[in-house]
Structure 1
Amino acid sequence: MKYGLYDRPPVGTSILSALQWMIVAVSSSVAVPLMIGDVYGLQADEMSHLMQQTMFFIGLASLLQVWIGHRYPMLEGPAGLWWGIFIILAQLGASAGLQPREIGQSFQLGMALAGLLFIGFGMLGWIGKLQRWFTPLVSGTYMILLAISLCSNILTGMLGIGFQHSKEVQPGVALVSVGIVALVVWIMRTKRFSSFAVLFGMVGGWVLYAVLGWTEPVRPADQLISWPSFFFWGTPRWDWGVVLTSMLTGFVLLTNLVTSMVVMGKATNTVPTDSQYNRGGVFTGVSHLLSGVSGVVGMIPLSLAAAVIQTTRMASRLPFMLAMVGMMLIGLLPTVAHFLAALPTPVAYAAMFISYTQLLGFGLKDYVTVKMDDRAITVGGSSLLIGIGVMFVPAAAWQKLPALVSFLFGNGLLLGVIVCLLLEHVVFRKPTDSQTQKDGHAA
């Protein structure tokens, strides 16, 4: 590690690292408001406003976490579970005669209530105790399934599918993506610039796309500053299905918080304390409250940050805090937001590819620490097969089931982790030391 959590890099290094964190934050979240806007039928100006809201509150939530929350340089970003539910319930709501905006209004209330759940668990000190459930087998399963669940989108994006509305593989885009990955790997092997490999990969790829004429023109902004607003979707409304789904999601995302902090601890060569887990839980609740009152997709700590640190060997909190202030400024300046949103998505996917491989590496490292006896193979193997198998089931196959059921069984990552928890701690629970001694005396 070149710079630890509390190290202060030189000014130039801090600025470049902050810029890299900003680009990582933008590239990892820019697609979500675009997808939500498309599904919910938002106009161009509404989609732009949702984009700015997302950038501003990502910066604010992440800054609060690294400053007084868990104190790790870990991005708060749109949760895959949340925006997946946004899309699923929008489709289910349409079949029930609900307008998409009504679903959004209910989500605002649901996310706020989920935030209160996080805050309550954190203040009661329960999150620090929950982390003991996440053994290397559980956290390893989570990271492996997370990497596998992301790989389809990553490779699809790198091949140019969906870029500029293309439904087919674009050989030119795919070739450039391979070149960007090679550039990132080459820069990582240099001692002087390895911390900025992702940044240089994105900038280099963006310049090449511009030379080839593959970039879209940046849409001009109508005003210099646009302040964040409350309740993007309108006045919150109560809907039992959406609210209950939101509360269940909040409870399940406690697992994400714990596993993300475990992985971040490994990436920074530290061990998170119970106090850090609980503070992280409180401020994850705060970020959900912010999501609810602003109308953006619910935010959670992203494990991707650990992969970035592992790749760049830069764990310092200072550049990260500067970057999050910059994210808030992006959320206030429509011109800058429009410019960064013009980053071609294949470039972002290609530049981040090596960072995504680190997620898989964390999971494999956890598995290596486990003695692979029959019990471990049954627990890990069953969880992985179930989780991966569900990922291949078409989403449409779950639509006729109740929303809660389709949400649970339609998400391979979530289902795999739940199965692993049950097998590890209930079905094949290891005997405690006291029980082992008692059985020994009885014999």
Structure 2
Amino acid sequence: MNQSSNKVTFFASIQWMFFIFVNVVVVPISIGAAFELSTGEIVSILRTSLVVTGAACILQGWIGHRYPLLEGPSGIIWGVMLTLGASAPSLGLSLKEVGGGIATGMLLAGAVTILLALFGAVSFINKIFKPMVMNVFLMLLSIQLAIIFFDGMISVAEDGSMNVTITLFSLVIVIFVAFLKIKGNRLISNFSLLIGIVVGWPIFKLLFPDAGSIASMSEGSGGLILFPLGPPNLQLSIVIMTFIACLLNMSNTFASIQAAAVIYKESPERNRYRNSMLLTGGYSMIGSLFGLVAYAPFASSIGFLESTQIYEKKPYYWGGVMIIALGVVPGLAVMLAQLPITVGNAVLFVAYLQLFGTALKSVRNYAFNSVTVHRFAAPVLLGVSIMMADPKLFTSLPSVIQPLVSNGFIIGVLLSIVLEHTIRWQEDSGTAEKTEQLNSK
């Protein structure tokens, strides 16, 4: 029995390692490309990101919020950084100036996050991020991730057309993993994501030997480089935009902890929020020194947990240890980065279908009518509409606000906050009040 348990822990740890890696590895590579860094600088950011992410996960699970949730580069800040980098020419700034402004904004936001946690502002922040705001957050997050990973499943040829064969293969992986999840026995269902990667990777390489991987780069030096995106500066437009986005990023912490608490059927104490904010603020400040994206707990981890049905923390810890090893040992991260892009995205697409279910469950106790439905429908549908709009539509706006206005996720959450704090909605269910009471404990 003990041997069987050890085997489950081992494979669950490998599954956690792949989940963390696939979610994290694309971020530093895309940031490096956006800011025109050298291969050595990109490898440095990649390895540092893996080490910090592995340590962040372990510490959060141990002394932070104490749930097995991936702590990694925030998708909100990632999108803002890519947009700011792309807008550098229109702002009349060099990429180093933009990167330095981002570093300043992240340092300030990390420090403010730590101060808010130390001075007991958890209850105040909880009042800002009301239950309905968190419901909107989860719904928009699930839709945004589905769009991102669906786009990643589609292989695009050099002429801009779809590579039908590779795209069909990725769809087969989706169907295969979903079938294992739905029809497999408990063991197979729990490891369906890992099986999808282990089976899909070699078959893809056999069928499409010349197709792209997550990363195509030589190993490079990979040594620590301080402020690779640019030294801190006071480019106020960049600093302010980054600072606002990083503060809004705190919604990740509250949404993740609240969603995890539902799974574990418990009410998290206030110190879990405080400790998580302290750690996240610290990671973000450390990360800004090495060109990393600001950190946050991944609410999307809920989809992974519900998909695998493995809730023990031991595999999560070992997955974090393996991620640290990938960053420390030269060449290991680059080797794993040969995972085909479409296979990684197809597997994550299935994992995040569960997150959509979590978002639906979060509103099922609300009885909406023709008036109250606006508090949920307006921010969600506006956010999705902006997500689907052509980014070129926003180029006529002042460059400094383009990253904010063109981000459907941020606009949707901000609208939800405004609606919840300016309109006295008639409650048709006691769910919201109960949730607020639990979160204030």
Please give the TM-score of this superposition, normalised by the length of structure 1: 0.88
How far apart, CA to CA, are the structure 1 residues paired with 2:411 and 2:297?
A: 20
Q: Which residue of 2 aligns with 1:340?
A: 336
Query: Aligned partner of 1:237: which letter?
Result: N
1:428 alignment partner, SS class: coil
Query: Aligned partner of 2:95: which letter?
Result: P
Equivalences for residues 397-408 of structure 1 within 5 A:
397-403=393-399, 405-408=401-404
Q: Which residue of 2 aligns with 1:115?
A: 110
1:126 and 2:126 are equivalent in the alignment: no
How far apart, CA to CA, are the structure 1 residues paired with 2:268 and 2:317?
A: 19
1:136 CA displacement: 4.3
1:135 CA displacement: 4.5
How far apart, CA to CA, are the structure 1 residues paired with 2:286 and 2:159?
A: 35
Query: Aligned partner of 1:167: which letter?
Result: G
1:185 and 2:181 are equivalent in the alignment: no
1:374 alignment partner, SS class: coil
Q: Which residue of 2 aligns with 1:277?
A: 273
Q: Which residue of 2 aligns with 1:422?
A: 418
Q: 2:161 aligns with which of 168, 179, 183?
A: 168
Q: Structure 1 residues 286 and 222, CA, compared in 2 at 3 Å: closer, same or farther?
A: closer
Q: Which residue of 1 aligns with 2:317?
A: 321
Q: Which residue of 1 aligns with 2:357?
A: 361
1:21 CA displacement: 1.0
Q: CA RMSD in A?
A: 2.4
Q: Please say if residues 106 and 242 of structure 1, whose CA atoms lie closer than 8 Å, have aligned partners that are also in contact.
A: yes
Q: Which residue of 2 aligns with 1:31?
A: 26
Query: Aligned partner of 2:374: which letter?
Result: T
Q: Which residue of 1 aligns with 2:55?
A: 60
Q: Which residue of 2 aligns with 1:411?
A: 407
1:155 CA displacement: 1.7
1:77 alignment partner, SS class: strand
1:390 alignment partner, SS class: helix
Q: Which residue of 1 aligns with 2:234?
A: 238
Q: Please say if residues 39 and 220 of structure 2, whose CA atoms lie closer than 8 Å, have aligned partners that are also in contact.
A: no
Q: Which residue of 2 aligns with 1:51?
A: 46
Equivalences for residues 202-213 of structure 1 within 5 A:
202-213=197-208
Q: Structure 1 residues 412 and 235, CA, compared in 2 at 3 Å: closer, same or farther?
A: closer
1:314 CA displacement: 0.9
Q: Which residue of 2 aligns with 1:78?
A: 73
1:412 CA displacement: 1.0
Q: Which residue of 1 aligns with 2:437?
A: none
Query: Aligned partner of 2:247: which letter?
Result: F
2:59 alignment partner, SS class: helix
Q: What do residues 197-230 of structure 1 show as CA deviations (whole Å, max 9, x unaligned)?
A: 111101111011121133559766467xx55443
Of 111-120 and 210-219, the range deviating more from structure 2: 210-219
1:150 and 2:142 are equivalent in the alignment: no
Q: Please say if residues 250 and 296 of structure 2, whose CA atoms lie closer than 8 Å, have aligned partners that are also in contact.
A: no
How far apart, CA to CA, are the structure 2 residues paired with 1:156 and 1:166?
A: 17
**5+ residue gaps, structure 1:** 1-7, 434-443
1:253 CA displacement: 1.2
Count of aligned pairs: 421
1:40 CA displacement: 1.3
Query: Aligned partner of 2:201: which letter?
Result: W
Query: Aligned partner of 1:197: which letter?
Result: S
2:296 alignment partner, SS class: strand
Q: Which residue of 2 aligns with 1:441?
A: none
1:350 and 2:346 are equivalent in the alignment: yes
Query: Aligned partner of 1:251: which letter?
Result: L
Equivalences for residues 195-274 of structure 1 within 5 A:
195-214=190-209, 215=211, 221=219, 228-274=224-270
Q: Percent identity?
A: 26
How far apart, CA to CA, are the structure 2 residues paired with 1:9 and 1:428?
A: 55
How far apart, CA to CA, are the structure 2 residues paired with 1:320 and 1:76?
A: 11
Q: Which residue of 2 aligns with 1:330?
A: 326
1:22 CA displacement: 1.1
Q: Structure 1 residues 282 and 402, CA, compared in 2 at 3 Å: closer, same or farther?
A: farther
Please give the TM-score of this superposition, normalised by the length of structure 2: 0.88
Q: What do residues 353-380 of structure 1 show as CA deviations (whole Å, max 9, x unaligned)?
A: 2211112111111121111123421211
